[in-house]
Chain A
Amino acid sequence: MTRTAANSASVAAKPRLTTSAMIASIASEGQRTKPAPFGHALIALARSRPDIVGMTADLGKYTDLHVFAREFPDRYYQMGMAEQLLMGAAAGMAHEGFTPFATTYAVFASRRAYDFIHQTIAEENLDVKIACALPGLTSGYGPSHQAAEDLALFRAMPNLTVIDPCDAHEIEQVVPAIAAHRGPVYMRLLRGQVPLVLDEYGYRFELGKAKVLRDGAEVLVISSGIMTMRALEVAQALEADKVGVAVLHVPTIKPLDAETILQEASRSGRMVVVAENHTVIGGLGEAVAGLLLRSGVTPKFRHIGLPDEFLAAGALPTLHDRYGISTEVMSTRIKGWL
C-alpha cells in the first residue's frame, strides 16, 4: 500500500506531455472544432442519394463512418481489416451502380491497396470515393501510421482526383462535391474533433479550384490541407513584423488549378513558398514547381514539407517542430528566407 502510494505521488509529479500515440488531435488548444464533419456530411447527402453506401476495413470508428453506420445500418458494409478487399469490393459495388465511400487510414489505402485501387477502380474510372484518415504526419505512432507519401502515390495514378481539405468547414463541402463528380476520388480525411477555420474567410470549396484566402505583398504561401491552417497562422504572426503573407489554398491536388497558381505566382516581387503535410518528394511542392518551370514563371521558390526519411515516433507537436511544419518553425524559416 505505502509502496504504491509513494509510487503514485512520484508518477503524478512527472510530466506526461509527450506520447507517440496513434491518434492525436491536430486542433490546437482552445481552437474551434466540429465533431465528425465527414460522417455528418455523408448522412446529409445520403438522404437524397440512395446510391451512396459506406464501406470500411475495421476503421469505421476511426474514420467517422460510424455515425453514417448508425443512421443507415443497411447501407454500411464492414469489410473487416482487409484493405485490398475493401477497394476491390468498392469497385464491384460501383460496377453495380452504387457510389461507395470507402474508408481506412491513408497509409493502408496508399501502401497496401494501391494496385487494387489502380486496377479495379481507377483504370475503369469507377465512381468510388476513397476517404482516408491520418494523412501526412498526423499520427505520432511512427511510419506505419504516417502517410508521408500518399499524395505522391495517388497523384501518379491516372483518372484519380486528389483532395487535401483543410478543416471541418471544407470537409462538409467536399463530400457532396466529390459525390457529384464522376470518377474516382482520393480524399484526405480529418476525423474526430476537427478544427474549424475557413468559415471565417467566407470560403467555398470548388472541385479543381485554388482560392486566395488572404493577400500579402512579400510572400505567397501555396498550401493544402492542415498546412493552410498553419499558413494562416504564420501570416498573422508575420503581420507583426510588417511582412505581408498571402495564402493560396489548393485543396485539389489533382487536377491542379494551373491558372490560379500561375496568376498568383506571376505577381512580381513575391517569394513563393509551398507548404505541405507530405514528403517533399512528389507532392504539391513538386507539382507547383513543375508547373511554374514549364510555364516560364520563376519567382524565388522555397519548399516546406517532410524530409525523405522514415519519420520518428513521438508527440505530434514535437514532430511538427522537428520536421518544420509547425507554425513557429515555419514563421522562422520564412523570415530567414526573405
Chain B
Amino acid sequence: MQSNPLGHKVDLAERAYRIRRNALKMGEVQGQGYIGQALDIADVLAVSYFHAMRYRPEDPAWEERDRFLLSNGHYAIALYAALIEAGIIPEEELETYGSDGSRLPMSGMASYTPGMEMSGGSLGLGLTIAVGMCLGLRRKSSAARVYTLFSDGELDEGSVWEAIMSAGHWKLDNLIGIVDVNNQQADGPSTQVLAFEPLVDKLEAFGWFVQRVDGNDLDAVVAAFDAARNHAAQKPRMIVCDTRMGCGVPFLEAREKNHFIRVDAHEWQLALEALEAGRTQ
C-alpha cells in the first residue's frame, strides 16, 4: 500500500509485529482468545493488508476495494488486530474485545465490525460467498479481487469443495484463496482428524493455480501473493500457507499444540515481552 523508505520487508515485519501485539493485548483483555492462531496468521494478514490489497481505511465500504472474507470467524482476534493496524478500527477499541456491547465480538460478524465482510463462526461458508462475490464483481466489470482466508479444518466440510469446484468451473481469476495449514483443529492435528493431503494436487485437479509456502516467511508470502495476482491463466488462485501456531512468541510456539492454547493470566505480559524481544529493528 504505502511506500516505505526502508523497503517493504522491514515495513511488513513491523506490521506483522504490531498485528501480533494488538492480538496479544486483546487476548489479555479477556484472558483468552484464539491467540495461537492469531500469531500463526499475522504474517499473512500483514502481507494482505500492507502489500497486496487495495482499500481505503476511512471508507471500508469503498466500492473498488479488494474484499477480504474471514471464513474462519474464530480468527476474528487476528483480523481485528490487522484492521486496527490498517486504521479501519480505532486502536482504543482493542480494550473492548469480547465485552458486552463491543464491536469486536470473539467471533467475526459483518453486522458488528467495519471491515469484517462476512458473518462467520459457522465454518465452511466463506468460499461459497466468495464465488458469488467474484461472479458479481465480474458482472460489474470490477477490477476488485476477493481474498478469502479459511482454515485447514474447513477442508473437512463438503461446502468448501463445492465452492472449490465451482470456482474452477467459473474460472474465477479474481478469487485468491488462502488456507491456513497450522495442522490443528478442535479434536487434534488436522492431518489426523481427516487426511487432506496431497492438498496441492487436489486443488490443481479442481482447476486452481496453487502455491504452497511457509506462511511465516514474509518473503515467501509476498512472492506468493505477487504470483497469485500476476498469474496469467484464467483460474482461481490458492495459496496454501503452512504456519506455526504461536509464531513470534517462542514459549507459546513451544507449548503443547491445542485448538485453545493455554495462556495463564501472568503470561500475557511475558508474551508481549517475548514478542518485543524478537522484533526486527
Contact = CB atoms under 8 A, between A and B. Distances in A.
B29 to A, nearest CB: 7
A84 B159 CA distance: 10
A78 B119 CA distance: 27
Most chain B CB neighbours (cut-off 10 Å) among A7, A20, A107, A315 = A20
B5 interface: no
Contacts of A59: 186-187
A79 B31 CA distance: 32
A81 B122 contact: no
Given A11-B28, A81-B153, A4 B186 contact: no
Q: Which of A4, A58, A62, A107 has the most CB of B within 10 A?
A: A58
B122 A108 contact: yes
A7 B25 CA distance: 10
Interface string A308-335: 0010011100100000000000000000
A84 B123 CA distance: 13
A298 interface: no
A79 B185 CA distance: 13
Interface residues of B, number: 38
Given A11-B28, A81-B153, A21 B186 contact: no
B194 interface: yes
Contacts, number: 114
Contacts of B91: none
A60 B187 contact: yes
A294 B187 CA distance: 47
Interface stretch (A136-144, A187-195, A222-230, A258-266): A136-144
Nearest to B111: A310
Nearest to A60: B187
B185 A58 contact: yes
Interface string B55-74: 00000000000000000011
A32 interface: no
A4 B272 contact: yes
Contacts of B193: 58, 78, 80-81
B99 interface: yes
Given A1-B273, A19-B30, A20-B107, 7 more contacts: A4-B269, A16-B31, A20-B98, A80-B193, A81-B153, A81-B185, A144-B121
Interface of B: 28-32, 73-74, 98-102, 105-107, 109, 111-112, 119-124, 153-154, 156-158, 185-187, 193-194, 269, 272-273, 276
